[in-house]
Amino acid sequence: MHHFMLANLLTEPVGVAHYMAVGAVLFVCGVLCMALKRNALGVLMGIELVLNGANLNFIAFGSRFLRGEGQGLGLDGPLMALFVIVLAAAEAAVALAIVLNFYNNYDSVDIDRADQLQG
Amino acid sequence: MGDGIYWPTFFFLLFSALACGFALAVVFSRNVVRMAFYLVMSLASTAGLFFLAGEDFVGAMQLMIYVGGTLVLLIFGVMLTSQKQFVEMKTPAGQWIVGLVTGCALVALLWMAAFETPQWQPISRAEAEAVAVQPTATPIGVALTNGRVDQLDQPDETLRGGMSSYLLPFEIVSVHLLVVLIGAAYLARAKRRSPSAAAPG
Amino acid sequence: MAEFLANYLPAWLAYMVAGAIHVGLIINLVAVGALVFIWLERKISGRIQDRLGPTRVGGKFGWLQTLADGLKLLTKEDLVPGGADKMLFRIAPYVSFCASIAAFLAIPFAGGDYPFIVQHVNTGVFFVLAVLGLEVFGVILAGYASASKWSLFGAMREAAQVVSYEVPLGLCAVVPVMLAGSLDLVVIGDVQQGWFTNWLIFHDPATFLIFWVYFTCATASVNRAPFDLAEAESELVAGFHTEYSGLRWSFFFMAEYGSMFSVSLLASILFLGGWNGPLPITEWLGLTAANGDIAWYIGQVLGVINVIGKAVAGVCVMMWIRWTLPRLRIDQVMATCLKYCTPLAAAFFLGAVAWQWSLPGRTFFGLLESPAELQSVSEGWSDATAAATDEDEPEASEDQTVSSEPSRKVAAAKLTGAAALQIASTNLQGGK
């Protein structure tokens, strides 16, 4: 099953699976970042990585170069990716505004200090 | 030129190694500004992967909005909120171990899923070389406004007539962006700091 | 080029050699360009201030002054401040320089069926603008990593300024894209063939005015005076490069001159006819592909001289502005962008749309019939006018222009173009 992973690595095209493998690494890195960083901006960077992993999958599904002519999702892939990029920009703007407010109130960007609502 | 090096694969390996390597560096770096720098490199390499998949427009968009816009914003945030010279925050070792074990398990699972699915396996070299290069901006522009170039043989008459286009999501995203713009400006507007925050600590 | 080399070399080597030649040419263009521009800047500033500028080194006009400076910079010690983040401090100049060079990847120097360009990207305008925006990273990293207040202030100013000025810059660049019906820089340059009356700057009053907005924003986005707040000597010592010395400092300078050159190149392709001279001399002399390869090649080289000449003229104007106008304050810089440039660009964009919509197929302020290359775009506009208007018509005809390139798979591209037109027309009729 895994024969194509290493054999003919340089002479054969890659497929959707390879893009998904890269996307998976980005995704998991992002999740780890979100879980392990205590800096609010580090968490934001984790979110960006997660979104990029997802984007890579969308692009791979839509690409004719990976699935062959006429196969694949067609335009849905790049369009979804575009929406993700735009929404990520919006999300970053709002999140940054929240982080700045948090910093104004607590003098820190350590998310562990955001425990006011904890009962 | 039958079985020489297939250059797209070579560049795929290069860009994917860069993207994954810098993503790992983001996780393992403790300095926020270095994290931001690694993230920039990782996202730029991802844009390279987009170009490689034939999506020039999305790749350029990624460079412009993500790397040029969003991340500059992030670094701006880092600068506005840093107190010590180079911000570092430590994570306890126990969390690291749990996180890494879970992460590795998740990667293994996703990789198995990806490589076990027959539809997602590579096509042959001849097929890949037969794929024609097409302009990428036009189909996307047309699909955003009124129709899908790739859905011309859609059997359903209604769908073919433009319902399958992305006009509505496009409008929603536009309005959403406007709302976000106003909201972010409102949240981040200058105001007096509350007296409780001024306490030493 | 790789295909040509593949006749003599093994395929893998041919690709590498072709790539190396392209990259070598670009790096030379940026580095040698910087040498020339720095000399030019000294001469121009000297003349403006009623001095002579450099006169000693290397003959009468001081030609070799920059080279001597370069040697001096090479021999200087490469200092890193004690409190600095050493890795980022070392890497920052290269980030700036790489971004500045990468923009040249998608800039054509001559058009036609086989354009002189490193990588023919079909979203060229967008790509160049995107990559130019990345240069700010090097500056921010440098400012932060230097561990100096001056540098940090310079970097913050630069970040705010560049991100804001990308908005009006993009709006201005969209106008030629709309008129030519393509994001491809080669196509945009080629539709301005013939007399200077076909240049897009003279297309209508709105494009004439928006060119000046573009030039202002371009000056600001590459941090030239009067917008060089990031390195304001009177307030911030030297801004983000206060702590830099020797070769790393000169990398920042090469990046600055490189991006000045690339925004000027972009201006000359988008508005000033690109590789087409004011008079159609190459056609009069028969230097076209129809008269054999050598004639075609000479014509292309003339085109390269044309486009580089216009870009250098643009750079000279930027220098003239730098040594004439006083520096703005940072709030004035932001106000110029958000209060003046952005609304003006938006208004002129609407003006250009309205002009093109009411007078399709005309150029030179509506006085002349536009050339055949622009007619196909205008047809879309008149169709749109007939069918109660739709925005994507000019985009639809992009594919037809693009599909005339032999290097692309013509049939497939035509299919896309035809399909897009078909969808557009059925929907328009359905919509009525």
Which domain range does residue A64 map to? 38-112
Task: Classify domain B1-88 by CATH number.
Answer: 1.20.120.1200
Gap from B155 CA to chain A (nearest CA, Å): 16
Q: Which of B110, B125, B177 to mutate to test the interface with A (most CBs of A within 10 A)?
A: B110
Q: Measure the CA–CA gap between A87 and A68, rounded to whole angstroms.
A: 30
The DSSP letter of residue C336 is I
Percent of all residues in chain C with a pLDDT value above 90, rounded to a whole number: 6
Report the range of poorest mean pLDDT among B1-10, C59-68, C326-335. Answer: B1-10
Helix orientation angle between C86-102 and C135-145, rounded to the nearest 10 degrees: 160
**Which residues of chain B are under the pLDDT cut of 50?**
1-2, 197-201
Distance between B126 CA and the closest CA of chain C, angstroms: 16
Backbone dihedral region for residue C229 (phi beyond 0: left; psi -120 to 50: alpha; all else: beta): alpha
| Residue ranges covered by each domain of chain C | 1-75, 78-370, 387-432
Give CA–CA dist A110/B40, Å, rounded. Answer: 23
Give the per-residue pLDDT at C415. Answer: 43
Domain count, chain A: 1
Tokens coding B113: 């899923």
Look at C162 and B72 and tell me if their CB atoms are within 8 Å. Answer: yes
Which member of B60, B67, B73 has the closest CB to residue C127?
A: B60
- For B112-181, the DSSP string reads HHHHH-GGGSPPPHHHHHHSPP--SHHHHHHHHHT--GGGTT-S-HHIIIIITSSHHHHHHHHHHHHHHH
Closest residue to C423, CB basis, from B86, B136, B146: B146
Give the integer Cα–Cα distance in Å for A79 and A77. 5
CB contact under 8 A, B149 and C423: yes
Q: What is the ipTM of this complex?
A: 0.86
> What's chain C's average pLDDT?
77
Please give the pLDDT value at position C226.
79
Cα gap A24→A60, rounded to integer Å = 12
| Contact (CB, 8 A) for A99 and A43 | no
- A52 inside domain: yes
Identify the CA nearest to C200 among candidates C234, C227, C172. C172
Interface list for A 26-85 with B (CB within 8 A): 26-33, 35-39, 41-42, 44-46, 48-49, 52, 55-56, 59-60, 62-69, 74-75, 77-79, 81-83, 85
In a domain, A103, yes or no: yes
Distance of CA B140 to the CA centre of its chain: 18
Q: How far is B114 from chain C (nearest CA, A)?
A: 30
How far apart (Å, rounded) are the C-alpha atoms in residues C118 and C108? 8
Dihedrals phi, psi of C362, to nearest 5 degrees: -120, 150
Residue with tokens 């998976």: A24
Mean pLDDT along residues C418-422 = 52
* Amino acid symbol at B103: G
When scoring A8, A34, A57, A64 by the number of chain B Cβ atoms within 10 A, the one with the most, hence best to mutate, is: A64
B103/A31 touch (CB, cutoff 8 Å), yes or no? yes
Q: Please answer yes or no on whether A21 and B32 come within 8 Å at the CB atom.
A: no
Mutate to test the interface with A, among B34, B61, B120 (most CBs of A within 10 A): B120
pLDDT digit string, tens, across residues C245-299: 778 888 888 888 888 899 999 999 998 888 887 877 777 777 777 777 788 888 8
The pTM for the full model equals 0.83
Q: Let me know if residue A90 belongs to a domain.
A: yes
Chain C residues with CB under 8 Å of B44 CB are 134
Helical packing angle, C124-133 and C149-180, nearest 10°: 170
My answer on whether omega of the bond before C226 falls inside 30° of 0, hence cis, is yes
Is B87 touching C (CB cutoff 8 A)?
Answer: no
Which residue of C lies nearest to B135 if distances are taken between CA atoms? C122
Tell whether the model's pLDDT for residue C432 goes beyond 60.
no
Give a yes or no: residue A24 inside a domain.
Answer: no
